[in-house]
Structure 1
Amino acid sequence: MRIEQLLQTTRGLHGPETEELLKGIERVKWFLWHGNVRRADETLPELLEEIDGLREQDRQAGRPPSVVLRKLDRALDEFATYVVNNAGAIVNYGERYRCGERISTGFVESAVNQVIAKRFVKKQQMRWTPRGAHLLLQVRTQGAE
């Protein structure tokens, strides 16, 4: 989801550099989809350097600073930090897809939300037993694997 936001922000830029930035972000998306965190981590600083170069060109040309470039720079920097901090938890969706495994947990999240919503309706308010709560969490985590 974060990558889609980065792509949308980049599309807000005008000029020839937009295409190169879009290709770079798509490359990062591909690396992460295939579980290649190291390559994504190498590519993100390159994109940040490219944005810094564009911002410097604007300064040298006497143009006002681009709000979109500043926003993209900040968002990419935060995303790079996110990737580094969560490298161990990033799933190789490409491998899962090729093995025929599920790559989405939406169906599990939906089921859990339905059970919780039903239990918290005023007419059916009940207490969670430790065992019941544990079993619900097991369903949630089993579906996420």
Structure 2
Amino acid sequence: MQQIADHIARSQPSPIEALPTIDRDIRPVKWRLWHGRVDRAIRDLERLLAKVQGSRHVSEFSIARLHSLGVQLLTYIRSNRGAIVDYGKRYRAGSALPRPSPSRQ
């Protein structure tokens, strides 16, 4: 989502047009998820999706893809609300982040 939003922001002929803050609107959602603030992340993502849905003057493909990914993320967050880990709290407590297990050969 961030890459698509960055592309949309860069591709606008004027910073006043379209979605000048779309790329910046995604960062707080990611931060809130990382820090276990799931309800606020959901509200921010819903607001972002409403903004994206109302933007028809930007490349239709980019907007459609961004909206589709946002809806998928929102569904995932809602479905897994109780399992989302507060990695910021875990990091501050000195717990290491989970590492991928070595592959068997």
Q: Shorter-chain TM-score: what band? A: 0.7 to 0.9
- Look up the SS of the partner of 1:35 in the other structure: coil
The amino acid that maps onto 2:6 is R
What is the alpha-carbon distance in structure 2 between the residues aligned to residue 18 and residue 49 of structure 1? Answer: 12
What is the alpha-carbon distance in structure 1 between the residues aligned to residue 98 and residue 64 of structure 2? Answer: 33
- The CA RMSD over aligned residues, in Å, is 1.6
Flag structure 1 segments of 5+ consecutive residues without an equivalent: 1-5, 118-145
Give the fraction of aligned pairs with identical amino acids, expressed as a percent. Answer: 32
- Look up the SS of the partner of 1:96 in the other structure: helix
Report deviation, 1:20. 1.1
- Residue-by-residue CA offset, 1:3-55 (whole Å, 9 max, x unaligned): xxx11111221223454111111000000010010000111110011101112
Partner of residue 27, structure 1: 28
What is the alpha-carbon distance in structure 1 between the residues aligned to residue 40 and residue 65 of structure 2? Answer: 24
- Look up the SS of the partner of 2:21 in the other structure: helix
Greater Rg by CA: 1
Contact 1:11 1:18 in 2 (8 A): no
- Residue-by-residue CA offset, 1:49-101 (whole Å, 9 max, x unaligned): 1101112xx2xxxx8x5210111011101110011011111100000100110
Taking the TM superposition and a 5 Å limit, the aligned residue runs for 1:1-145 are 6-13=1-8, 14-15=11-12, 16=15, 17-55=18-56, 58=57, 66-106=60-100, 109-110=101-102, 113-114=103-104, 117=105
- Look up the SS of the partner of 2:78 in the other structure: helix
Report deviation, 1:104. 2.7
What is the alpha-carbon distance in structure 1 between the residues aligned to residue 7 and residue 20 of structure 2? Answer: 11
Flag structure 2 segments of 5+ consecutive residues without an equivalent: none
Larger RCO, structures 1/2 (Cα 8 Å, 6+ apart): 2
Contact 1:7 1:25 in 2 (8 A): yes
Contact 2:19 2:55 in 1 (8 A): no
What is the alpha-carbon distance in structure 1 between the residues aligned to residue 20 and residue 82 of structure 2? Answer: 31
The total of aligned residue pairs comes to: 99
Structure 1 runs (4+) greater than 4 angstroms displaced? none
